[in-house]
Amino acid sequence: MQVRDEIEHLLDDNEDMADLYLTRKWIQQNQQSEVELGETASNLLSRATSNRSSSMVTSNTKDDNDVEDLEMLLEAYFMQLEGMRNRILTVREYIDDTEDYVNIQLDNQRNEMIQLQLTLTIASFAITANTLLVSLFGMNIPCPLYKMDDVFGYFLSSVTAVCVVLFLLTLGYAWWKKLLGT
């Protein structure tokens, strides 16, 4: 963002853009050093000033053209930066959308796992109730029912049927409360 702002600032200020023309600066510095070092006579001095004035006249028109060239170059870079910035923002939005989608999928999987765990817990509760009742009546406690034939089989099947009904009722209650999906 700072590079973009700086380029925009340079595009707005012609003096700064003229200062960016380094080749012209270097040539002018070399000309000045040659004039200062090599010329001692007034003849040479007058020739240097005439060269300078003619170069100033031509450089004024060159400055405008050079600044325009530099401005076009900087505008091209500015447009490239703007395009890259837009692509980066688009990719960032795409990444955020993909991340949201993945999180939704993970939440869905987590909910399915919780529903499976709830179903298994309800089944475990029904099996535990069945095992408890059958084991209580399977102990060696004296009871007159033990002397009757096939009573334990009827008892076992009726307790199992009650536990299956208990499982189905608890599962139906979980669906009614929307704890389990459809």
Instruction: Name the residue among 164, 165, 167 with its Cα closest to residue 122.
Output: 167
* Amino acid at site 133: L
Give the domain ranges of the chain: 2-176
Q: What's the rounded Cα separation, in Å, for the pair 63 and 16? A: 12
Local structure of residue 60 (DSSP, 8 states)? H
The whole-model pTM stands at 0.52
Q: What's the rounded Cα separation, in Å, for the pair 78 and 8? A: 8
- Indicate the Cα dihedral angle 142, 145, 147, 151, nearest 10°: -130
Structure tokens at 51: 């060269």
* Alpha helices per DSSP H over the chain: 2-12, 14-19, 22-38, 42-137, 151-176
Residue in the structure block whose two tokens are 């007159």: 144
Q: What's the rounded Cα separation, in Å, for the pair 29 and 125? A: 95
Residue pLDDT tens, the chain, 182 long = 677 777 777 677 766 666 666 667 777 777 777 666 665 444 444 554 544 444 444 444 455 556 677 778 878 888 898 899 999 999 999 999 999 999 999 999 999 999 999 999 999 999 999 899 888 877 777 777 767 777 778 888 898 999 999 999 999 998 898 888 75
